[in-house]
């Protein structure tokens, strides 16, 4: 159980265009999802926390108008990188909490990640 | 401030034992996680410690001392597939994950 998928796994886009990344919880309902970004040889950096039916909470330094997050249902959150630039090229990872899980409190289950390359 | 320290890189030999240390200073503590991350992939869960002591799970063990702000991950009978980055992270008082930079473990034959 507690499987999280992401789509696409890899995407290449041209500078100035927008790209949408989907994060789905496949076998549970996720009231909270998280979006992370990871640059090469660096740690995961939390970008935003997404709660179903409400606006996302962005971390300091993350542009909310550039990284649009929508958590319209209990199984789907999307991250749209608008007007992408080469410096946005990174590995984007989502995670989700399963509130019904009887395991580790507040454990996050991770998607497989999306490699974004902006040319 | 919040800080998690772990060695940047370690090298070990196949079949041997390696210990990866992690020290931390965070605002609140609701548990320490160890994750394994292969290049280009998402992290996978290895262990969770919330009380002091040793948690053993097969070839992997994780230790926690909350008073010292210290943890280690012990890997036994190393295999080539264990070559990966190992991430130490803390769940803080807001139940958010604070990530260390990770330790790249290189296994040599």
Q: Within 10 A of B8 (CB to CB), how many other CB atoms are there?
A: 10
- Interface check for A44 against chain B (CB to CB < 8 A): the answer is yes
pLDDT at A15 (0 to 100): 97
CA distance A99 to chain B (A): 13
Give the chain B residue whose CA is nearest to the CA of A59.
Answer: B96
Residue among A97, A46, A40, A107 nearest A74 (CA): A97
- How far does the CA of residue B43 sit from the closest CA of chain A (Å)? 7
Mean pLDDT of A4-21: 96
The least confident of A46-55, B3-12, B67-76 is A46-55
Give the phi and the psi of residue B81 in degrees, each rounded to 5. -70, -10
Across the interface, of A45, A107, A110, the residue whose CB is closest to B42 is A110
What's CA B56's distance to the chain center, in Å? Answer: 13
- A45-83 pLDDT tens trace: 999 999 888 889 999 999 999 999 999 899 999 999 999
What is residue B33's predicted lDDT score, i.e. its pLDDT? Answer: 95
Nearest by CB to residue B42, choosing from A105, A107, A112, is A112
CB atoms within 10 A of CB A63: 10
Q: Which of A43, A91, A106 sits opposite B87 (nearest CB)?
A: A43
Q: Do A113 and B41 touch (CB under 8 A)?
A: yes
List CB contacts of A57: < 8 A, sequence separation 6 or more.
A48, A49, A50, A51
- Distance separating alpha carbons of residues B77 and A37, to the nearest angstrom: 33
Average pLDDT value for residue range B68-72: 97
User: pLDDT exceeding 90 applies to what percent of chain B?
Assistant: 79
**Closest in B41, B43, B48 to A104, CB measured:** B48
Across the interface, whether the CB atoms of B95 and A91 are under 8 A apart is answered no
Residue B69 contacts A, CB cutoff 8 Å: no
Interface of A with B in 60-119 (CB under 8 A): 91, 93, 104-108, 110-113, 115
What is residue A27's DSSP assignment? S
Q: What's the mean per-residue pLDDT of chain A? A: 92
pLDDT value at residue A1: 65
């Amino acid at each position: 159980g507690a499987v999280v998928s992401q789509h696409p796994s890899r995407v290449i886009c041209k500078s100035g265009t927008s790209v949408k990344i989907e994060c789905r919880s496949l076998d549970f309902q996720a009231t909270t999802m998280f979006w992370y970004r990871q640059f090469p040889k660096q740690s995961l950096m939390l970008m935003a926390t997404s709660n179903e039916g409400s606006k996302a909470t962005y971390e300091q330094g993350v542009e909310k108008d550039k990284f649009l997050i929508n958590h319209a249902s209990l199984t789907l959150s999307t991250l749209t990188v608008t007007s992408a630039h080469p410096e946005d090229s990174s590995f984007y990872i989502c995670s989700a909490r399963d509130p019904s899980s009887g395991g580790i409190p507040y454990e996050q289950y991770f998607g497989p990640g999306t490699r974004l390359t902006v040319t | 401030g919040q800080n998690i320290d772990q060695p940047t890189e370690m090298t070990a030999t196949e079949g041997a034992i390696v210990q990866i240390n992690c020290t931390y200073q965070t605002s609140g503590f609701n548990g320490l996680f160890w994750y394994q991350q292969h290049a280009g992939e998402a992290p996978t869960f290895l262990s969770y410690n919330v009380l002091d002591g040793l948690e053993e799970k097969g070839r992997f063990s994780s230790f926690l001392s909350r008073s010292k702000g210290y943890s280690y991950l012990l890997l036994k009978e190393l295999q080539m597939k264990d070559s990966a980055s190992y991430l130490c992270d803390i769940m803080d008082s807001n139940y958010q994950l604070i990530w260390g930079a990770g330790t790249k473990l290189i296994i040599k034959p």
